[in-house]
Amino acid sequence: MTKAQRPLGFPEYLHILQVPTPFPVGPVNLYLAEGDPPTLIDVGPRYAPAREVLEAALAAKGLRLADIGCFVLTHAHSDHYGQAGELAAASGAAVLTHPANFALMADYEVERERRLAFYRTLMGEAGTPQEEVLLVDRVRRQMGVFAVPVRPTGALKDGDTIRLGDEDWQVLHTPGHAGGLICLYQPQRHLLLSSDHLLRDISSNPIVEPPEQEGENRPRRLADYIDQLQRVAALPVAWAFPGHGPPIDDVPGLVARRLEFHRRRGEEILQTLESGPKTPYEISRMLFPRLDPVNRFLAISEVIGHLDILEAEGRVSSALEDGVRLWRRT
């Protein structure tokens, strides 16, 4: 972003660095805050083209990776944090993130296995044919190469502040797209670094996640996401700078569109139950007939998120029958 392209109030010390990813979402936006220490907000995936582009972008600012003193990781998805382990080992930089991300980032292989087992069970219970369950599991395993473990050195919790440049930014914990997702807000400038909580052109896709501890209830991530959308829309935000895509100059308007989209989708899902009880897999096939298995998983996750909300409203109920969960209107 050139000086001529900078929105009014965008700080001189902050720079957007866009690096490629191997994922359909496309490039990821990283944010470099010059100062003491130079701080990089998100780092991109463990992917050679991402490393090369990042090194070149830093060199254009007169910096090397070894000069970065702090990495702020907004959430535990590999396109945002995947190469942090290698970069932190090379630079000795501090690694800060929300505590909800610690387990997945530090104990990567163990936590991935726990999550893979959770998703196999979830998809089976949703009525997904076993061959599709196994295919999604295999693809998710293959995607594990795009991240390596990184041990956070400090926590960023809701309400904390972090110094970027010569200014304090507030930490907002906004679970939804991911349980440990954080945004950074500069109240005097009315600027928000929104990571994947707010994206201008695509859905943030709140994904079903396992409980943080065995024996606990599964979190309701779509409900969390909607709550946090409303929270962010109530802030005086002039511009939001996301993890993917262009900046957002109308946060309340975007949030209103997202809320209306989810309201309509919930009603569509409710209508699919008029003809009788169905599994989340069957509902997803009615709404999205032609999807590859990976996108079918995302569709099932979206359906389950809406069923969570409809259940909380008393409009649907479910029962486990022969290992498969059937949902019906109440």
Lowest mean pLDDT among 9-13, 99-103, 252-256, 281-285: 9-13
Enumerate residues 6+ apart whose C-beta is below 8 A from 85: 46, 147, 148, 149, 150
Tell me, what's the pLDDT at 3?
53
Peptide bond between residue 37 and the one before it cis (omega within 30 degrees of 0):
yes
Question: In 3-state terms, what secondary structure has residue 28?
Answer: strand
Asked whether residue 4 carries a pLDDT value surpassing 60, the answer given is no
Expressed in angstroms, the distance from the first to the final Cα of the chain is 52
Q: What percent of the chain has pLDDT over 70?
A: 98
User: Which structural domain, as residue segments, surrounds residue 85?
Assistant: 3-329
Contact 191, 205 (CB under 8 A): no
Residue 327 bridge partners (DSSP):
278, 318
Q: pLDDT by residue (tens digit) across 39-97?
A: 999 999 999 999 999 999 999 999 999 999 999 999 999 999 999 999 999 899 999 99
What is the Cα–Cα distance from 89 to 60, expressed in whole angstroms?
23
Question: In 3-state terms, what secondary structure has residue 18?
Answer: strand
Q: CATH no. for residue 26?
A: 3.60.15.10
Residue 7 binned pLDDT confidence (cut-offs 50, 70, 90): confident
Asked whether residue 287 carries a pLDDT value surpassing 90, the answer given is yes
Count of domains for the chain: 1
What is the Cα–Cα distance from 176 to 144, expressed in whole angstroms?
22
* Neighbour-count burial of 115, counting CB atoms closer than 10 A to its CB (0-12 exposed, 13-18 middle, 19+ buried): middle
Contact 41, 3 (CB under 8 A): no
Residue 185 bridge partners (DSSP):
170, 192
Q: Where are the beta strands (DSSP E) in the chain?
A: 14-19, 28-33, 39-41, 70-72, 94-97, 154-155, 161-164, 167-173, 182-186, 191-195, 239-242, 316-321, 324-329
Reading the block at residue 151, the tokens are 């041990």
What is the Cα–Cα distance from 305 to 307, expressed in whole angstroms?
5
Q: What's the average model confidence in pLDDT over 206-212?
A: 92
CA geometry: angle at 171 spanning 164 and 39, to 5°? 30
